[in-house]
A and B are shown apart, each in its own frame.
Chain A
Amino acid sequence: MNATPEAALDTAAQFSPQGEVVMDCKLDKIFYGDFLAVRSSDVPIEKGKITGFIGPSGCGKSTVLRSLNRMNDLIDIFRFEGKVTYKGQDIYGKKIDPVVVRRYIGMVFQQPNPFSMSIFDNVAFGLRLNRFKGNIEEKVEKALQRAALWNEVKDKLKNSGLSLSGGQQQRLCIARAIATEPDVLLMDEPCSALDPIATRQIEELMLELKERYTLALVTHNMQQAMRVADTTAFFGVDISAGGRTGYLVEMGNTKEVFENPQEELTRQYVAGEFS
């Protein structure tokens, strides 16, 4: 941590990333209608690393992650104040279509959600959507291999994606998301619906994927964050204003955050005193 004296006075301990920042989220306020869901959180996402988002329920960690590829725009009453830059562009800029943002920043969801079509078509979906002209078979195979699913499904690519087990479905969703080679992959509690073995596989996969992609991971499981995240952002809930407003309490190298937290709240959370 290189916390400056001024930053220490602020609620969120300042974090200065070492590497190249691929997405810079400077969030001021997120509203759902009149409800202030998240306030003042600066979350830089570094290239080639896994940034973990942890915190108690209702702290807004998923909301922040989903605002990174404008998934929250599906909710009518959602309002974002602040700036999220990707490749120097504010993705909330007036001229930016959320559809374009989502094509570059992929997402894997809490519940495995393959489309009701064949395994092949699931992975090829993004390629066809982007009118990819090259060899689709090759790309699909590569994506499935990177998602560590190829060996299990290579003989039944025509079967429905929904015929797979939960863990396989989630890896299929990862393959679908990475087939178009997005820069950033957002993962919203990707293992919460999976058993320990499938969780292990997905975690190993994440560590392999960070060689190529930048990952941001929301997790409710502190051990998972410790195992895979390079950088960890801890969000807390502020109930002082009457509502439940989430905010970034502390962000830093995962090891630092867990072993030597700067904030009392972080210490209590990582010690398991509340969750």
Chain B
Amino acid sequence: MASDPFQSADTANAVSGPPSASDYAGDALFRFIAYACALLIVVLVAYILWKIGGQALPAMQEFGPSFITGTTWDVSKGDYGVLPEIWGTLYSSLLALLLGGIFGVAIAIFLTQGFIHARLAAVFRTIVELLAAIPSVVYGLWGIYVLIPLLRPTADWLHETLGWFPLFSSSLNGPGMAPAALVLAIMILPTVAAISVDAFRRIPYKVKEAAYGMGTTRWEAILKVMLPTASSGILAALVLGFGRALGETMALAMLIGNSNQISVSLFAPANTLASLLASNFPEASGIEVEALMYAAMVLLAITFVVNVLGLMIQQMTMRKFEGKK
């Protein structure tokens, strides 16, 4: 029981009193659990890094930086390099971010800016979020059996008529960058859309009033006022979407063609780090396992850098637009 300096004769029968010992104990316990949970996450991340790093260490010592600049992955020669995978990871994710970002933000605007009734918007939002519930392998199958046949006529036509243009410089023979990036875009769409919707919803009504009060049309209000106001939230959505695209494995392993080459062509097969790990691990042994661990470290580093950069850009926009330190 804590001391109660206010407990005197004339207030002795008041209802007010100090918190009991068990109230204080509960307080301390809750604080301990909160700290423990936070610490656990840090420990977990450190442990994963340490384990993977430890496994990758022999490969790191053997190949050094040439692992990152190398372009072949030849188990028989013991020659390991992941530049094509790094390129494929970044290229496919950027394409997906471009497509998924534009569509995701457009959907968020459509759902929040009074284009449709609120109840209908909720239904739409649920449908978009359902996209996130479809398993990766189902996307992969859908890509193989539906998307690739669907893309082929357009891809062939583009290659034949605009083949001089680097983006269309090869023909689509089954798996390749275009179907992989498209599926990836669909996969990050719900993330981008849902978080952007929240960013738009957080804008107070008075901002909308201010915009219309200045005599803006609906489009001017959205493009010149609502979009800049929601920009830090939208950036957060894009960073999360990009992070998801970088690490996506199964659908890409099925669709990208797992070919070690660097090409800007949308129809050429390529490879990503995550897909390389997924397809090579089952049969790997010895130094190849260590090389794969090294590749995993590279992927981790890329994801880390992207997230930190994204966060910095977000902070910058917040400072610029919202005046927060």
Report A's interface with B, CB cutoff 8 A.
69, 71, 74, 99-104, 106-107, 109, 111, 113-118, 125-126, 129, 159-164, 173, 176-177
Say yes or no for B207: interface residue by CB 8 A criterion.
Answer: yes
The verdict on A126 contacting B213 (CB below 8 Å), with A113-B206, A116-B322, A160-B322 known, is no
Question: Total A-B pairs in contact (CB under 8 Å)?
Answer: 75
A125 and B215 contacting across the interface, CB-CB below 8 Å: no
The verdict on A116 contacting B228 (CB below 8 Å), with A129-B220, A159-B323, A162-B322 known, is yes
User: Which of A100, A101, A129 gathers most chain B CB within 10 Å?
Assistant: A129
B321 and A160 contacting across the interface, CB-CB below 8 Å: yes
A115 and B322 contacting across the interface, CB-CB below 8 Å: no
The verdict on A160 contacting B224 (CB below 8 Å), with A99-B216, A113-B210 known, is no
The 10 closest A-B pairs by CB, nearest first: A163-B323, A160-B323, A103-B215, A102-B215, A113-B210, A113-B206, A116-B321, A107-B213, A162-B323, A116-B229
Please, which residues of chain B bring their CB within 8 A of the CB of A115?
Answer: 207, 210-211, 225, 228-229
B257 to nearest A CB, angstroms?
Answer: 44
Report B's interface with A, CB cutoff 8 A.
204, 206-217, 220, 224-225, 228-229, 319-324
Could you write out 22 A-B pairs with CB less than 8 Å apart?
A: A69-B213, A71-B212, A74-B212, A99-B216, A99-B217, A102-B213, A106-B214, A113-B206, A113-B210, A114-B210, A115-B211, A125-B214, A125-B224, A126-B215, A129-B224, A160-B319, A160-B321, A160-B323, A162-B322, A164-B323, A177-B213, A177-B214
Cα of A159 to Cα of B324 in the assembled complex, Å: 10
Please, which residues of chain A bring their CB within 8 A of the CB of B217?
Answer: 99
Cα of A104 to Cα of B215 in the assembled complex, Å: 8
Out of B204, B212, B323, which one reaches A102, CB within 8 Å?
B212
User: Which of B210, B220, B320 gathers most chain A CB within 10 Å?
Assistant: B210
Out of B204, B209, B216, which one reaches A129, CB within 8 Å?
B216
Closest-by-CB residue of B relative to A115 is B225
Please, which residues of chain A bring their CB within 8 A of the CB of B214?
Answer: 102-103, 106, 125-126, 129, 176-177
Cα of A164 to Cα of B324 in the assembled complex, Å: 11
Please, which residues of chain B bring their CB within 8 A of the CB of A161?
Answer: 323
User: Which of A109, A115, A160, A162 gathers most chain B CB within 10 Å?
Assistant: A115
The verdict on A71 contacting B323 (CB below 8 Å), with A115-B228, A115-B229 known, is no
Please, which residues of chain A bring their CB within 8 A of the CB of B224?
Answer: 125, 129
B145 to nearest A CB, angstroms?
Answer: 45
Closest-by-CB residue of A relative to B321 is A116
Please, which residues of chain A bring their CB within 8 A of the CB of B322?
Answer: 116, 160, 162
A109 and B209 contacting across the interface, CB-CB below 8 Å: yes
Instruction: Give the interface SS of chain A, mostly helix, strand, loop or mixed.
Output: helix
B210 and A173 contacting across the interface, CB-CB below 8 Å: yes
Please, which residues of chain A bring their CB within 8 A of the CB of B207?
Answer: 113, 115-116
B54 to nearest A CB, angstroms?
Answer: 47
A160 and B320 contacting across the interface, CB-CB below 8 Å: yes
A109 and B210 contacting across the interface, CB-CB below 8 Å: yes
Closest-by-CB residue of A relative to B218 is A99
Closest-by-CB residue of B relative to A119 is B323
Cα of A159 to Cα of B321 in the assembled complex, Å: 8
Please, which residues of chain B bring their CB within 8 A of the CB of A106?
Answer: 213-214
- Apart from A99-B212, A103-B214, A113-B209, list 9 A-B contacts with CB within 8 A: A69-B213, A71-B209, A74-B209, A113-B210, A114-B210, A116-B321, A129-B224, A161-B323, A164-B323
B223 to nearest A CB, angstroms?
Answer: 11
Please, which residues of chain B bring their CB within 8 A of the CB of A126?
Answer: 214-215
B200 to nearest A CB, angstroms?
Answer: 13
User: Which of B211, B213, B228, B323 gathers most chain A CB within 10 Å?
Assistant: B213
Please, which residues of chain B bring their CB within 8 A of the CB of A117?
Answer: 228, 321
Please, which residues of chain A bring their CB within 8 A of the CB of B229?
Answer: 115-116
Closest-by-CB residue of A relative to B317 is A116
Cα of A114 to Cα of B229 in the assembled complex, Å: 11
Please, which residues of chain B bring their CB within 8 A of the CB of A104?
Answer: 215
Please, which residues of chain B bring their CB within 8 A of the CB of A160?
Answer: 319-323
Please, which residues of chain B bring their CB within 8 A of the CB of A173?
Answer: 210
B309 to nearest A CB, angstroms?
Answer: 22
Cα of A113 to Cα of B211 in the assembled complex, Å: 9
Cα of A173 to Cα of B207 in the assembled complex, Å: 11
Please, which residues of chain B bring their CB within 8 A of the CB of A118?
Answer: 320
Please, which residues of chain B bring their CB within 8 A of the CB of A177?
Answer: 213-214
A99 and B215 contacting across the interface, CB-CB below 8 Å: yes
Closest-by-CB residue of B relative to A110 is B206
B236 to nearest A CB, angstroms?
Answer: 15
Closest-by-CB residue of B relative to A125 is B214
Please, which residues of chain B bring their CB within 8 A of the CB of A107?
Answer: 213
Please, which residues of chain B bring their CB within 8 A of the CB of A69?
Answer: 213
Cα of A74 to Cα of B206 in the assembled complex, Å: 12
Cα of A104 to Cα of B220 in the assembled complex, Å: 17
B36 to nearest A CB, angstroms?
Answer: 37
Cα of A95 to Cα of B63 in the assembled complex, Å: 75
A94 to nearest B CB, angstroms?
Answer: 18
User: Which of B207, B212, B225, B322 gathers most chain A CB within 10 Å?
Assistant: B212
Cα of A176 to Cα of B324 in the assembled complex, Å: 21
Please, which residues of chain B bring their CB within 8 A of the CB of A100?
Answer: 215
Please, which residues of chain B bring their CB within 8 A of the CB of A164?
Answer: 323
User: Which of B209, B215, B229, B324 gathers most chain A CB within 10 Å?
Assistant: B215
Please, which residues of chain B bring their CB within 8 A of the CB of A114?
Answer: 210
